[in-house]
A and B are shown apart, each in its own frame.
Chain A
Amino acid sequence: MGTRTRNVLENIVLAAIILVLLQTLFEDLAVVLDWSIGVRRVLLIFGFFFDLFFTVEFVVRSYEAWRYGRLGNYFWYERGWIDLLASIPLLLLNSGPAVLAILAGGVSVVGVAGMLNVLKVVKAIRIARVLRLLRVLKIFRRIKNAESVMAQRHVAMISATTVSVFVLVLLAATMVEAFVSAPSLDARYQQHSFDMIELISSDQMRRAPALRTSLLKMDSAVLLVRDSGSVVFSRHPDSYYLRHFGPGDYGYIEARGVELFVDLRPINQEQSATNIRYFVVIIAIVLIYMFVYSPHFAMTVSDPIHIMRRGMSEKAYNLEVIVPGQYRHDDVYELSKLYNEVFLPMKDRSSGDETEVSALKMDDLKDMFE
């Protein structure tokens, strides 16, 4: 593959990284702000295609690396593991099922028994979406003040470690919550729904429809109730459901011929708000590393080394390293002092009468000799 083609592809990937970050933010924002289902569907489908794109990219990169016998190098040292975490799991566990649910046009939560566990698993998967943010690390290569490969590697390493630990701990905690019974908003919500279906499907309530309707009106979580196939209560007109409810926005429970549809949006909104907080925290961490730590690393580690390397390899280069007072005891600056005070004077004496290295290069004469 030519360098130009490779650069074009890298720029496409970079653009996709930025777009997927926006898509991730907007997807959660759409839930929190209760945007119409049409907009949320579009965002979900975009998310699916981004995940598909990054999955294909990961597979192609892995194949290329494998072909040249450097798969391990790609996976461990070139942050291939980030490419993996931010692609296939999201496609299989998050955007893939969501798009399938849209295509199926049905509810994602079916039946009373599975409701609680399914909700918890869905919640865990949604947290996994934050992993997409890890891909922003690829942008480090383009940061102006970190031209040094060493600076890029160190800053990318520390960013990847922090972000991935943050995300993996969140994931693990959510997974644990899914399989360990503990008091939570979800659990209370579910228990409330079970209690409600028990109550409204009881013979006593069925015999007092006015009382049942009053009770259902008071519970804002109840959307719609059908008894023996007939709608006995609906909080909103059908057009409202069509416009605002998609897969995962409502739960369905059935008992003794009574069907209860409950509003899951408050739980989803709470989860999306949490996701946005995580998103902002991680973006802040990455930006701080990029714009505060990266220049600091460059200035206190890679810049002095770069100057000393030039001084040692280029005859005419005689600039000293500036040793900042507060860092004078750092190993790098101790070495810089030796470079300034011992190496450069010695180099100057030993260069003797030799003229500086010529600024001219043989390439300058190329066309003359052709």
Chain B
Amino acid sequence: MSTDHDKAKAFVGRLLQNPSLRDFSELQREEQIIQFLHVNAAQLGPTLSTPQFFAGKNWNQIFSILLNALYELVNDELLPKLEELIRSKLDLAFLRHMRQTRVDDELVQKQLIAFATDVLKKPDARRNFTGAYSALVFGIADRYLTVAFDQKKYVHFELTKVQRLRMNKEETRNFVRLTLLLRPIVNLGMSTAATQQERSTGMVQSQFAEKVMHTAKSEMKYIPEQALKSAVDASLSFNENRFVEATSRLAAIFAARSRSYQPNMRVDRGADSPDKSWISVSRRNYKYYGFDIKMLDELYKIAAENNW
């Protein structure tokens, strides 16, 4: 006789295999399923509480069982992919520009894998990581940075002259990738009592960011302070903190964009492209989300030129 957990895994596994979710990243699929369970609770509750499924359990209990099964199944897929991403797709050579002493990449990679494993234990952090992870999976940051470096306009100026990164294009792309990977660092210390705006924009207050930075420095010794600061500041509003690094501002935009990114999305005739539409809306809401409007302007032009 199968246990509730097995049944839940079978049920959730079936949802994960649904063809309509095929193109999404693992965390996007997870969000889709959680949303599906929330929206259809009224219909699913009575059916799933029958003897065939979870006899005698109320919806909250069933939801909890399903959620744990979902996290487990998603982690089974996600953790190996994250490890592969960290070990083979994230070139950490750029870190040499940020510290005096040499640190073995293996130690950094292990710390990053441990961080990712920790992040995935917290539901809020998982949610915050969805956009950043999808940006890494779909290569959103890479494609924009490639064009921005070629065009050498505002984004390039901010990265090379203001943030003073002495890195080439590939190294800068890896720095932004690392920033995206570490972005949910703020969630590791965040209380569940975050304000509505903090939850909806993913932004935090600067005092809180300082505390996170302080803790992170002591706990993630192999990651240079500059990289940690870039990741923590990626959750700060640029409108309230004008010193936020260019890599952080870019990571904030790419993470927000990628959260709702749908690869192979069918665009209706007469509608603008998905990226262009998203950036256009974000330009109008830049204050609310704390984005850098000039960066959005440049990314908008890049999206328009490339029909992204």
Contact = CB atoms under 8 A, between A and B. Distances in A.
Say whether A and B bind each other.
Answer: yes
Interface of A: 298-299, 303-304, 306-307, 310, 316, 318-322, 340-341, 344-345, 348-349, 351-362, 364-365, 368-369
Interface stretch (B27-35, B87-95, B103-111): B27-35
Contacts of B278: 318
A299 B24 CA distance: 30
Given A341-B284, A353-B200, A368-B11, A360 B270 contact: no
A365 B33 CA distance: 12
Interface string B74-95: 0000000000000000000000
B15 to A, nearest CB: 6
A319 B40 CA distance: 26
A348 B260 CA distance: 11
Contacts of B284: 341, 344-345
A354 B271 CA distance: 24
Contact of A303 (B31, B35, B268, B282): B268
Given A360-B20, A364-B18, A321 B271 contact: yes
B14 A368 contact: yes
Central interface residue in B196, B260, B273, B277, by most chain A CB within 10 Å: B277
Nearest to B30: A355
A316 B15 CA distance: 20
A369 B47 contact: yes
A31 to B, nearest CB: 45
B26 to A, nearest CB: 15
A358 B200 contact: no
B68 interface: no
B138 to A, nearest CB: 15
A190 to B, nearest CB: 59
At the interface, is chain A mostly helix, strand, loop or mixed?
helix
B11 A303 contact: no
Contacts of A298: 269
B18 A360 contact: yes
Contact of B288 (A349, A353, A368): A349
A284 B64 CA distance: 66
A321 B272 CA distance: 6
Nearest to B269: A303
A345 B281 contact: yes
A361 B40 CA distance: 9
Query: What 10 pairs between A and B have smallest CB-CB spacing?
Result: A303-B270, A352-B200, A358-B36, A345-B284, A319-B271, A359-B20, A360-B36, A358-B35, A320-B272, A320-B277
Interface in B245-262: 260
Interface residues of B, number: 39
A322 B199 contact: no
Interface in B123-171: 127
Contacts of A358: 32-33, 35-36, 39
A59 B302 CA distance: 61
Contacts of B281: 318, 320, 344-345, 348
Central interface residue in B11, B15, B34, by most chain A CB within 10 Å: B15
Contact of A360 (B21, B196, B274): B21
Interface in B272-308: 272-274, 276-278, 280-282, 284-285, 288
Nearest to B47: A369
A316 B14 CA distance: 23
B1 interface: no
Given A318-B260, A341-B284, A349-B288, A307 B270 contact: yes
Interface in B11-65: 11, 14-15, 18, 20-21, 24, 31-36, 39-40, 43, 47
Contacts of A322: 270-272
A307 B20 CA distance: 21
A316 B268 contact: no
Contacts of A318: 260, 277-278, 281
Contacts of A321: 270-272
Contacts of B15: 360, 364-365
B268 A356 contact: no
Contacts of A356: 31-32, 35, 260
Contact of B285 (A304, A320, A345): A345
Nearest to B199: A353
A319 B277 contact: yes
A322 to B, nearest CB: 5
Nearest to B28: A356
B267 interface: yes
A340 B269 CA distance: 16
B271 A320 contact: yes
Contact of B267 (A319, A361, A365): A319
13 contacts: A306-B270, A307-B270, A320-B277, A322-B272, A351-B200, A353-B200, A355-B127, A358-B39, A359-B20, A360-B20, A360-B32, A362-B40, A368-B11
Given A319-B268, A353-B196, 11 more contacts: A307-B268, A320-B280, A320-B281, A321-B270, A344-B284, A345-B281, A349-B285, A352-B199, A358-B35, A362-B40, A364-B18
A357 B285 contact: no
Contact of B35 (A307, A340, A341, A357): A357
Nearest to B285: A345
B78 to A, nearest CB: 17
B135 to A, nearest CB: 16
Nearest to B274: A319
Contacts of B18: 359-360, 364
A138 to B, nearest CB: 24
A344 B284 CA distance: 9
Nearest to A350: B200
A85 B18 CA distance: 52
A355 B31 contact: yes
A214 B196 CA distance: 109
Contact of A299 (B32, B267, B270): B270
